[in-house]
Structure 1
Amino acid sequence: MRKALEARAVHGLDKVDFGATSNADADLTGQAMRYAAALARGAADPTKLYDVYTVPRPSPDLKAGLANALRAGDLTGWFASLAPQDANYKKLSDAYLRLLRAPAQSVAEIPVMGEAIKPGAVDPRIPAIARELAILDYVTPEDAQGDRYTPKLITAVRQMQADYGMKPDGIIGSEALAILNMSDVDRSRAIAVSMERLRWLERTPPATRIDVNLAAARLTYWRDGKIVDSRKVIVGEPDTETPQLGSPIFRLVANPTWTVPRSIQEKEIVNKGSGYLKANNMVWKDGWIVQQPGPKNSLGLVKFDMQNDHAIYLHDTPAKPLFAMVQRQRSHGCVRVEDALGFAEMLAKDEGVLDEWHTARASGRETFVKLPGQIPVRMLYQTVLFDGADEPIVRNDPYGWDDRIGAALGFKAGKALRVQSGAVDVGP
């Protein structure tokens, strides 16, 4: 058991104390159970860290497992079997161990020295700056070449400055470099947090499902164990975060109406007058503002109805330009899907209800098409993704949700890469 605990850095748990107070059997058993639980379900309980967390979690019988491992004389093997076995977890583990063994950085990766870098300047820091901009999705890797501050990089820096609440002047000073500079300590913390989030998840998720990464604002559609589609989404802004839900889609809604929630109604619509309601095809109905079907409807032309108690669902949107933005945390909490009609067509075809869907769309009225089988949806939050060479890259933490997990794993507060977006329309 001590050998297994000494090697717990392989799971990013080296800062967590599972220690026993003595060598008494009860203390040692408690230590083993705490470590086993951390590997099997996570060192922290997401339902206690977040107001809402309903993504399905594993629940193995650890007492029976410990007894069997002791009988078999293979405690180390049992501990190892409890953690996720997938390739991504292994890649995160390898990256964490590499960072742990690397010498500590004595200076920032991109030195904050000399004058600010102005448009058109030549500076030896530009290649490193361009690489970080590519990691954050503001430029492509092909743009990260040379040491001249080019127009493409200037546009990217201005967009980044706007996203992070800075003056978008394109000048790379200490404030912009603070966003771009990430230490090995920051990286290792983010990777350990990412491993912890994977430990929260079922080891064998449904083969057909939809995963939404809220941090990256991307949707991935799995069918029979294979990724068949991936697309951009718009998710909740930092003040109205999309919660981490496990919630299935059970029907498609063609030409949906939208009953405006009280919070949006009172804050953003009720004082705008009848002219605004008429221009946006809205009417009062039983004390609620209801937007009628049509191209101006905030739900667009399709809604993906989901079963949960939080009024969260996927839907279309008339605000198409938002999908071109890098930071797409800009809704009031629901998830807007890029080319939602194309995605609905794909789901309807895969579920064998394409004819019913076409009839519903053509009606022009709000029409419900029930799916023969529910499609599980998981709203996840991962700030570490993988590049083309399968190397982990740390993206931004738009909701600041890494902090509480990092603290639970024994890390000091890290540098937060957080956006300041602001919802740009009244849609959900």
Structure 2
Amino acid sequence: KPDGIVGSGTIDILNKGPGDRARQLAVNLERLRWLDRKPPETRIDVNTAAATLAYWRDGALRDRRNVVVGQPDWETPELGSPIFQLVAHPYWRVPKSILEDELIEKSPAYLAEQGLEWRDGRLVQLPGPKNSLGEVKFDMRNDNAIYLHDTPAKALFALPERHRSHGCIRVQDALGFAMLLASDDGVIVPFQEKLMEFDQEGFVKLKQEVPVRLMYRTAFLDDGQVRIADDIYGWDDEVAYALGYVRRPPRAKLKQAGGDVGP
């Protein structure tokens, strides 16, 4: 962040030499080797290290935007999982981990103010302006309860450091992105109809599931240029060690200020 203050992140960058960059490139080339040589022509790639999203359609880059991903200790995992449906005005069914970590001691008045209520022994947030999933959720098939979604915390997308969620992926202008996916898939009309049913959860299945790849890349190509991202999760070290580099002491995982209870 350009604040004129030499913080730990700036010092870390200044201290890196050519050997460190070579190590970082080797780690990320190894990660590329793990992937299919020919990725799906239509897909969504999320780089959780850089907190960015790229949407590919029929082999061409269709859209790019910022995302907010898991903060250290709530890391967004690396996985492949398709989006199979869009959810308009979603309910948020609060996971047990967030309930115990963030909400268990909150007063009934606070919960009511946030649109949270107990239903069948589960804390649920109703659709509305304070709902942590915003106006749309992108349902995905995986065992980690990881998905893409909207958020009322729009200001986070303008920050240079966007590792502030509890693991799920918040999408910049998620409603616009959902409209783009729905239009490309031929389900824009039913999706718009569900959006018009305010405060009522509505589901629209995609005709063709869209593969999503959640990847951690601290060195990557961007418009033909090599870009570097901070190894905020500290995941580079294990890969580097497996490649024969000297193991380094684990980095302290610093959570970013200004987080919220959303997924």
TM-score with structure 2 length normalisation?
A: 0.94
CA distance in 2, matches of 1:299, 1:250: 17
Q: Structure 2 residue aligned with 1:251, among 79, 82, 85?
A: 85
**Greater fraction strand:** 2
CA distance in 1, matches of 2:61, 2:225: 20
* Superposition map of 1:125-140 within 5 A: 138=1
- Go from structure 1 to structure 2 and tell me whether the alpha carbon gap of 1:419 and 1:269 turns closer, same or farther (over 3 Å shift): closer
- Go from structure 1 to structure 2 and tell me whether the alpha carbon gap of 1:420 and 1:271 turns closer, same or farther (over 3 Å shift): closer
CA offsets, 1:231-251, max 9 Å, x none?
000000110101111000000
Q: Which has the larger radius of gyration?
A: 1
2:84 maps to 1:229: no
* Superposition map of 1:138-153 within 5 A: 138=1, 153=2
Name the aligned partner's letter for residue 210 of structure 1.
I
SS in 2 for 1:305: strand
Corresponding residue of 2:196: 362
Q: Structure 2 residue aligned with 1:329, among 141, 163, 174?
A: 163
The percentage of aligned residue pairs carrying the same residue is 53
CA offsets, 1:308-334, max 9 Å, x none?
011000000001111111111110000
CA distance in 2, matches of 1:339, 1:331: 16
Corresponding residue of 2:96: 262
CA drift of 1:278 comes to: 1.1
CA offsets, 1:23-70, max 9 Å, x none?
xxxxxxxxxxxxxxxxxxxxxxxxxxxxxxxxxxxxxxxxxxxxxxxx
Name the aligned partner's letter for residue 182 of structure 1.
K
**Greater fraction helix:** 1
CA distance in 2, matches of 1:219, 1:406: 25
Check whether the contact 2:86–2:206 (CA below 8 A) recurs between aligned residues.
Answer: yes
Name the aligned partner's letter for residue 195 of structure 1.
L
2:219 maps to 1:384: yes
Name the aligned partner's letter for residue 98 of structure 2.
I
Corresponding residue of 1:426: 261
CA distance in 2, matches of 1:294, 1:200: 41
SS in 1 for 2:79: coil
- Go from structure 1 to structure 2 and tell me whether the alpha carbon gap of 1:252 and 1:178 turns closer, same or farther (over 3 Å shift): closer
Check whether the contact 2:84–2:140 (CA below 8 A) recurs between aligned residues.
Answer: yes
Q: Structure 2 residue aligned with 1:374, among 200, 209, 228?
A: 209
2:107 maps to 1:273: yes
CA distance in 1, matches of 2:227, 2:182: 35
CA drift of 1:423 comes to: 6.4
Please, what is the CA RMSD of the aligned residues?
1.9
CA offsets, 1:334-370, max 9 Å, x none?
0000000000000000000000010000001100000
Check whether the contact 1:209–1:376 (CA below 8 A) recurs between aligned residues.
Answer: yes
Corresponding residue of 1:108: none
TM-score with structure 1 length normalisation?
A: 0.58
Check whether the contact 2:116–2:125 (CA below 8 A) recurs between aligned residues.
Answer: yes
- Go from structure 1 to structure 2 and tell me whether the alpha carbon gap of 1:253 and 1:273 turns closer, same or farther (over 3 Å shift): same
Corresponding residue of 1:215: 49
How many residues of Structure 1 are paired with residues of Structure 2 in the alignment? 261
Name the aligned partner's letter for residue 120 of structure 2.
D
Name the aligned partner's letter for residue 192 of structure 1.
A
Corresponding residue of 1:49: none
CA distance in 1, matches of 2:118, 2:80: 33
The structure showing larger relative contact order (alpha-carbon pairs under 8 Å, at least 6 residues apart) is 2
CA offsets, 1:98-137, max 9 Å, x none?
xxxxxxxxxxxxxxxxxxxxxxxxxxxxxxxxxxxxxxxx
Corresponding residue of 1:203: 37
Check whether the contact 1:331–1:423 (CA below 8 A) recurs between aligned residues.
Answer: no
CA drift of 1:414 comes to: 5.7
Check whether the contact 2:164–2:255 (CA below 8 A) recurs between aligned residues.
Answer: no
CA distance in 2, matches of 1:328, 1:419: 13
CA drift of 1:399 comes to: 0.5
CA distance in 1, matches of 2:254, 2:111: 31
CA distance in 1, matches of 2:104, 2:36: 44
The runs of 5 or more residues in structure 2 that have no matched partner are: none
SS in 2 for 1:198: helix
CA offsets, 1:256-299, max 9 Å, x none?
00011111112211211111111111110011110000111000
Name the aligned partner's letter for residue 191 of structure 2.
W
CA distance in 1, matches of 2:248, 2:93: 41
Name the aligned partner's letter for residue 161 of structure 2.
Q
* Superposition map of 1:21-32 within 5 A: none
